[in-house]
Amino acid sequence: MKKINVIALLLFLAAVVAIFFFVDSPTTRGFQTKVMNILSPFIRAGAVTETEVKHAVESPLDPGELRRENERLQQKVAQLSIIAEKYNSVLDENNKFRTLLNYRQQTPLKLTAARVLRRSASNWWTTLIIDKGSLDGVGTDCPVITESGLVGKTGKVALNTAEVMLLTDEECRVSARVQGTQIKGILSGERGDLEVRSDLRLRFIDRMAKIEPGAKIYSTGDGGVFPAELFLGKVKSIQMRDVAAEAVVEPPMDFSLIEDVFIVQLETGGP
């Protein structure tokens, strides 16, 4: 082997060792954020192109049907606005009573609406890219929800985009409990989302616990990442493992069809 090749190999190995052992997590996160910021315009442009191509390929819809659909949706919006108004006034009243009774005020949730740009191009991690980023106040590890339940949590955040690690990913773990019981465990997905429609797994539950199929699973709020009472899915079956039992849980939604989400920003509530 030539001397220059040996030197190159040694330098390469030294650089790899330096990355493995001397680059700490914040520095790595900094690099990842910078790369996301650089690639963010490409991600957005890629998503727009993909959508345009999809629309061009899809058969055109009947304009009359679209108009009727639009009218139906406008009526629905008006109806929901009234309900939201009533809900807000009830919430205000509720908070006022809590303060009067000197209860610890419930932590309010600040929701930021975001649109799903596309599914991320990662190999083994099930992630989505959304159109809100740090400029919109989105941070890392913010829970992401829809009206059907928990979607996941934010991961890498760029200025105008953010990556959402889905609930179906093995690395997205949620402290969960079975509705109406004290049975708790950790809910997570399967590796790589390589099934047709991945189920979730509620792990580390007591072997003696009695859980009926169809029981609803909610977040406990214990982990500090996800707020309590978020719907996570329904139990399909129970499997006994060596040390603990494991429940197979049907996810709250089909994650491939999600278009709009809400990012939850936890605010510290007053006394």
The answer to whether the CB of 116 falls within 8 A of the CB of 262 is no
- Sign of the C-alpha dihedral computed for residues 107, 112, 113 and 118 taken in this order: negative
* Residue 52 near another protein by CB under 8 A: no
DSSP of 97-166, one letter per residue? HHHHTTPPPPPPEEEEEEEEEEE---SS--EEEES--GGGT--TT-EEEETTEEEEEEEEE-SS-EEEEE
- Residues in contact with another protein, shown as a per-residue x/- string from 192 to 221 under the rule CB under 8 A: xxxxx-------xxxx-x----------x-
| CA 224 remoteness from chain centre | 15
CB of 88 to another protein, least distance (A): 32
* Residue 125 near another protein by CB under 8 A: yes
Cβ nearer to another protein, comparing 31 with 103: 31
Cβ nearer to another protein, comparing 34 with 68: 34
| Residue 33, C-beta contacts closer than 8 angstroms, at least 6 positions apart | 156, 157, 158
- Two structure tokens written together for 163: 């990556």
Which of positions 138-197 make contact with another protein (CB under 8 A)?
140-141, 153, 155-156, 163, 165, 170-175, 182-186, 190-196
* Residue 134 near another protein by CB under 8 A: no
CB of 45 to another protein, least distance (A): 7
- List 136, 222, 246, 250, residue binding another protein (CB under 8 A): 222
The answer to whether the CB of 218 falls within 8 A of the CB of 179 is yes
- List 96, 110, 124, 269, residue binding another protein (CB under 8 A): 124
Q: Which stretch binds another protein (CB under 8 A): 3-11, 70-78, 80-88, 260-268?
A: 3-11
